[in-house]
Structure 1
């Protein structure tokens, strides 16, 4: 008995519905990459993407079903795929410019991404919604069996699109190149369903749209570019990464936002004001000379870890960075010291702290963004874990981006309140002054005794910690009002809603000019 499964080539209808699933899911993941630099990766951005795609598909199913009953044909199915591919070419060409334009719409921050999602991805997804009812009508046969087969094949295509885009395209290709692949996939479907007519005008149309896709990809997209010379750029599994030189300063951009900077002529200079505060924990310990192990959560361009390593020859620096591509870029373009005192761990910070048996004198938490915060690193449970990994005299410093007062301060004050549940003393140091969105350095200690600003200034005068923080310490704050904000927990950490007001405001990041002894002599905001 022959037990081999019968083999046959997929029908035109099967090819069409499979490719529609691949393309629609690939576009959905691509949408997150295009929108992230402007709107972040918050739950609102992804909720908007999912909602718009489902709405567009539903409308396409409805209208496609009505039209399929009257005039379904493989020729019209081919036109649907051609139109989809041509629209994808437009997304590649003007996607960035369209996102920048829709940022100006006066909408609450939680809805700010919806116009861009709708404009860029609503029409092609709507068109792809036509494919399933058209193929069901063209396939004929028993209605129930045909419909079940069509939607099963389409779902398999969606699975392939999701995994293929996530694990293959995003880690290896740029955003325009990913769009090119998805557009060409739609063109393959157009060619497959109109195969008998490809020698005529149908083939010419496929060729013209293919040229449009290639031309759009070759331009790299039209829209505002990062100022400076891009020396390296890639799509990682987590974000878009760029290394940009502007004058003597090299900057690491992640999803279009500055994350680290290095002065190429003086690599140990603090370019951004907030990184100076990474040394402040040494003023909160009883004995700064006893500090011998520091953990940085978040590597970026390794500015803080590298300067710490160079400044304190007796300190071992551990760094936990989630994205291996960030580590590679930091090593190639910013220089990670090749030293037994510098240990890099790739993975999640919380998982690292749960698995390690080491304790630290200082933990620097530098993994937050203005518009996207990993909630699992904000909660009271995480703070307890961090406290367990600190020595008795240990200090935690968290680099937050928010306003110190006003509506944009909600996240800062919620985090402050959360840290107070675990640590006896919590202090903060805004870096820009005023009620603007800025870096706020929050320091928590396991000591019950209060350290006043005057005592900190005295320690700064007496201790040689490699940097003069006298001016920085003048922004000292404590005892923030927190009655109207929640304690963040693993079960409830609404960081996206707490960040709403901050996302809509200008972020003031202070850049420093330093004298040779490490004293900040001038500052400019950007």
Structure 2
């Protein structure tokens, strides 16, 4: 049988342009979530804005491109569209923080806060990519409009599938945002060069070289910057979040999606840097004979390390993100042992499968704007209750306001926990109604412990830490008539978190020179750009 001609295996210039545009558009759409999340969060509102903007920009490009294709479609035009997109991607890599800050200044309701930034960063390049499909359909050597259109959109869809899988499963887990942006920019430039390299005209080639240098330069400028907040020791994109480790003076801080989650004094690792980690010890005043503790969420492993070193207990930690575990071992002195076991799994999955029961379960996997709803529902709270011993305690480290409009998530979670536990207590970590760490503690005992009784136990028991200040922050049960009980089939967590968008998250930080003095509220310094990228 005669073999196919060699050219039969070579993609046509329009087909390649469509395929690459599909890869780039879907890849940028997924990458957009990582770029926007540190400032605006990664709630359903943010993702809804991203999807809507990409679809709108593509639709506008399809429409105008279709009207102009008959008179303007050519390989050179495709190349210029790809180069224009690559140049704008370079701008996004270089100035995304500035562009987001500018767009974020527009006064909008909190749920729409990310929309101007998404439009500014990703509307123009996606609009340009929208022109490519109708131009390519006009240039496709296929009989009939239907056949040409079907071929083009099939190729573009395959490109989108490739872009989605490669970006999600390969690029984001392995590379920084800057590196991925540079990669997409160079892919677009390379395709433009391939489309025009046989032409006698030099303009597209020179433009391709210039844009390639612009893309590479943007990547290097993003990677080498340093701010007054101090250097970032490590930065990477994990399958779940953006992760950064910074250090200012002796204090090393872990940021997840732009929010501080753990801190360690490298000169005094036993010191509690963030005040809320001292509250982890409150359950030691509410139960007797603690032998086994479970932490759901690891972060910098401040709580698990303290419990394993200070008490005669076995500590298990369920942490979903493997990169968080690796980072804690490298930068926060996490060492597994017979008394400290780390499991790379989700908290709910771990509780469903474990054969152990616990004296204390600490839920430390919540963020200000991104909460795993499966860890908030009444079904989960009942599962946790069933894994606690008769005298067991549940401790939930929430980020919310204790009162006011931004308290909806805390009050709904309080109401939900109360469906599974007889007694629920509240301990804010800062004064006022600011967004802060609000500690909710639940016990299986029917009798309620008063603050006075907790103070007496604090005086009598030797637990290695004075919790007087924490106990004095105790608050009565909040009003819950206007908030729902969260359930697996209806947990409107994003709507409950929405009032916190744009509000400053106040982290109580202990005094560096005298840990016994009252904590002070601080806003952590601005983070620098990365010094060490990727893994």
TM-score, with structure 2 as normaliser: 0.94
Tell me what 1:294 maps to. Answer: 293
Tell me what 1:68 maps to. Answer: 69
Structure 2: how far apart are the matches of 1:346 and 1:523? 34
Cα gap change, 1:159 to 1:522, in 2 (>3 Å): closer
Structure 1: how far apart are the matches of 2:136 and 2:22? 13
Deviation per CA, 1:243-275, whole angstroms, max 9, x where unpaired?
111011111111221110011111011111111
Which consecutive residues of structure 1, in runs of 5 or more, have no partner in the other structure?
Answer: none
Q: Does 1:247 align with 2:249?
A: yes
Structure 1: how far apart are the matches of 2:513 and 2:121? 49
Which consecutive residues of structure 2, in runs of 5 or more, have no partner in the other structure?
Answer: 524-535
**Which deviates the most, 466-475 or 101-110?**
101-110
Structure 1: how far apart are the matches of 2:223 and 2:132? 28
Tell me what 1:88 maps to. Answer: 89
Q: CA deviation at 1:514?
A: 7.2
Residue 525 (structure 1) aligned to one of 507, 516, 522: 522
Tell me what 2:437 maps to. Answer: 439
Question: 1:319 aligns to what SS in structure 2?
Answer: strand
Structure 1: how far apart are the matches of 2:129 and 2:225? 27
Q: Does 1:189 align with 2:191?
A: yes
**Which deviates the most, 387-396 or 137-146?**
137-146
Structure 2: how far apart are the matches of 1:82 and 1:383? 53
Deviation per CA, 1:56-94, whole angstroms, max 9, x where unpaired?
001110000000022211111111111001111111111
Structure 2: how far apart are the matches of 1:259 and 1:198? 57
Structure 2: how far apart are the matches of 1:324 and 1:148? 42
Structure 1: how far apart are the matches of 2:376 and 2:429? 21
Q: 2:336, 2:342 within 8 Å by CA — same for their partners in 1? A: no
Q: 1:94, 1:223 within 8 Å by CA — same for their partners in 2? A: no
TM-score, with structure 1 as normaliser: 0.96
Q: CA deviation at 1:222?
A: 9.7
Deviation per CA, 1:367-416, whole angstroms, max 9, x where unpaired?
11111111111111110111111111100010111111110111110000
Deviation per CA, 1:6-59, whole angstroms, max 9, x where unpaired?
951111111011001000001101101110100111111111100100000011
Cα gap change, 1:416 to 1:224, in 2 (>3 Å): farther
Structure 2: how far apart are the matches of 1:61 and 1:226? 45
Cα gap change, 1:481 to 1:191, in 2 (>3 Å): same
Structure 2: how far apart are the matches of 1:328 and 1:508? 27
Structure 1: how far apart are the matches of 2:139 and 2:33? 34
Question: 2:198 aligns to what SS in structure 1?
Answer: helix
Q: Which has the higher contact order (CA 8 A, sep 6+)?
A: 2
Q: 2:430, 2:521 within 8 Å by CA — same for their partners in 1? A: no
Tell me what 2:489 maps to. Answer: 491
Question: 1:370 aligns to what SS in structure 2?
Answer: coil
Cα gap change, 1:327 to 1:187, in 2 (>3 Å): same
Tell me what 2:10 maps to. Answer: 9
Deviation per CA, 1:495-524, whole angstroms, max 9, x where unpaired?
1111111122111111012788x6444434
Structure 1: how far apart are the matches of 2:212 and 2:278? 52
